[in-house]
Amino acid sequence: MSLTGGKLIQKYVRQLDASPGVYRMLDAQARVLYVGKARNLKARVSNYARPTGHSSRITRMISETSQMMFLTTKTETEALLLEQNLIKQLKPRYNVLLRDDKSFPNILVTTEHEFPQIKKHRGAKKEKGAYYGPFASAGAVNKSLNQLQRVFQLRNCSDAMFETRTRPCLQYQIKRCSGPCVGRISTRDYRTSVKDAQRFLSGKSTEIQESLASQMAQASEAMEFERAAALRDRIRAMTQVQTNQGINPRTVSEADVIALHIEGGQACVQVFFIRANQNWGNRDFYPRISADHSHAEVLEAFVGQFYSSKEAPRQLILSHDIENADLVSAALSEATGRKVELIYPQRGEKFELVSGALRNAKESLALRMSETATQAKLLRGIAEAFDLDDAPKRIEVFDNSHIQGAHAVGAMIVSGPDGFVKNQYRKFNIRGDDLTPGDDFGMMKEVMTRRFTRLIKEDPERTSESWPDLLLIDGGAGQVSAVAEILETLGVEDVPMVGVAKGVDRDHGKEEFYIPGRSVFALQRNDPVLYFVQRMRDEAHRFAIGTHRAKRTKAISANPLDEIAGIGASRKRALLAHFGSAKAVARANLADLKAVDGISAAMAEKIYDFFHEKG
């Protein structure tokens, strides 16, 4: 009989030395239960071999341990970084786990164009330019961009659109752009506006206002009243921007304010982003914890995981002290290449900031707990209405969208105990060349085949939470039959499914439900479960429609010049400037193509052959 629990751990202890490193505890199915770090692996792991003195969580974890794995590191700082990466990758059951870890948007001021563009940017910073952020959300960025455009009137259009404009767009008419595309502002004056915008984003708004006030006075003295009025409007707009930003700290120029509230075995972390002495919004997070996790443990785990894929600011202002503050600071400083300071304030402006964030965390968690209780009740209602053994933890809802078969997409949304799980949404570009346009059954079959083929490949033993407990299909008996046929072919016969079809007059409240082996039925119009199903079905429809529109828009805006090898942005601009449109390029003869600046004879022949071969 193989050893487990404390006796097994004692066996491992005899093989370890005092090196720093990371350890993993695994169960009988080789699933990772816990990932931990240690300054001294032998001393740390020997604590688990003690028969007593553990919390109920740790006792359960030890009893389930059937195997351990170890990785030694040169330093404890390296062990901390490795630990957090492994936790994010493996998602162990007994660790504090940050579940929502999206990237945050920035504002980008491009530098590659004569008239720089200002725009929202998310993801890797590959494009050349100056980045400002992070902002808490896309909404926070959009609000800031709107305000900046009112004050500095920088363009937000793409380079391609800029090159093809012949008259000012609506943004110019409503005084959100200075019209550089049609020469309404000089290169020098536009560059000045760009520098002012960058200074504003760097926290130097007072200097800009003083400069604008001085320019306005000079314009008035020179009796340039129209220019003076324009400068006055910019000053007013800037004042309004600063007023709308809310609380802007005086003594904190760059920091993330991080506050944790724990209640009822649940946690909420509020993060406020302070950059350039300005509040750039806040986000709440709900890490997975156990009831016996301390504030210090949760906050340290959150900081480690949150900044494992993000650049930390110069200061982290925390609501609670953490045990390894020096170690975390060293790890973050090493990752960013500059000093990152962890602060646990007791008084002053920093204390006021973190106290405000803590109030937000408490209110957000209270609201979430209320919503979770309602959600749990609805999931129990779903189980009762559809004869499920238990309340479903993962509901997958499927819908298709197309126009007469064109640009067809399938969409999947996910709902569970915490509501909609948007990072689990999936879209499926319908590939079936043999499908008849508008064949909804065929499209649903393709979507379900791809979804469950991938599930079976990635998790055949169904050990993860990625397998659904219930499928909701937008459609009636035909759709349900098509899905059942696919699942039977794949050998998946124990996942319940329900078809949701509009009833009489396709009216909300008259939905009919189709379950294999049961007669069609409906729910009472005032049943909360009916509203819940409608909300999930409508969310799937919204996601499918949005995905379809994006695909259609991309197809409509596609330029055939992009398909020609060797045609980059500059040659594309030259061709469009010379001929006016891609259609005119396609109709051009070889001699005309050779006459375009930057187009060699060989390239002209390639372009000519491309369009004539396609035709």
DSSP string, 106-169: EEEEE-SSSS--EEEE-S---SSEEEE---SSHHHHHHHHHHHHHHH----S-HHHHHH-SS--
Lowest mean pLDDT among 19-23, 41-45, 140-144, 518-522: 140-144
Q: Which residue has the tokens 């006792």?
A: 59
Each residue of 257-269: pLDDT tens digit? 999 999 988 999 9
Rounded distance between C-alpha atoms, residue 534 and residue 449, angstroms: 25
pLDDT tens digits for range 520-540: 999 988 889 999 999 999 999
162-187 confidence digits (pLDDT tens)? 988 888 888 898 888 999 999 999 99
Residues 6 or more apart whose CB falls under 8 angstroms from that of 175 comprise 150, 153, 233
Separation CA 194–CA 151 (nearest Å): 11
**Architecture in CATH for domain 560-614:** Orthogonal Bundle (1.10)
The average pLDDT across 362-384 equals 91
Peptide bond into 134 cis (omega under 30): yes
pLDDT band at residue 509 under the 50/70/90 scheme: low
Q: What is the pTM of this model?
A: 0.72
* CATH topology agreement for domains 254-367 and 395-555: yes
Task: Show me where the domains of the chain are located.
Answer: 5-90, 106-244, 254-367, 395-555, 560-614
Q: How far apart are CA 172 and CA 185, in angstroms?
A: 11
- pLDDT for 615: 42
Could you please state the CATH topology (level 3) that the domain comprising 5-90 is classified under: GIY-YIG endonuclease (3.40.1440)
Which class would CATH give 254-367?
alpha beta
Residue 271 φ then ψ, to 5°: -120, 120
Q: Would the pLDDT of 403 be above 60?
A: no
* Cβ atoms within 10 Å of 200's Cβ, excluding its own: 24
pLDDT 10s digits, 207-250 = 676 777 777 788 777 787 777 777 676 666 666 555 545 556 77
Domain 395-555: CATH class, spelled out: alpha beta
Name the residue among 347, 337, 468 with its Cα closest to residue 397: 468
Find out whether 207 and 218 touch, Cβ atoms under 8 Å: no
User: What is the per-residue pLDDT for 444?
Assistant: 85
pLDDT for residue 548: 67
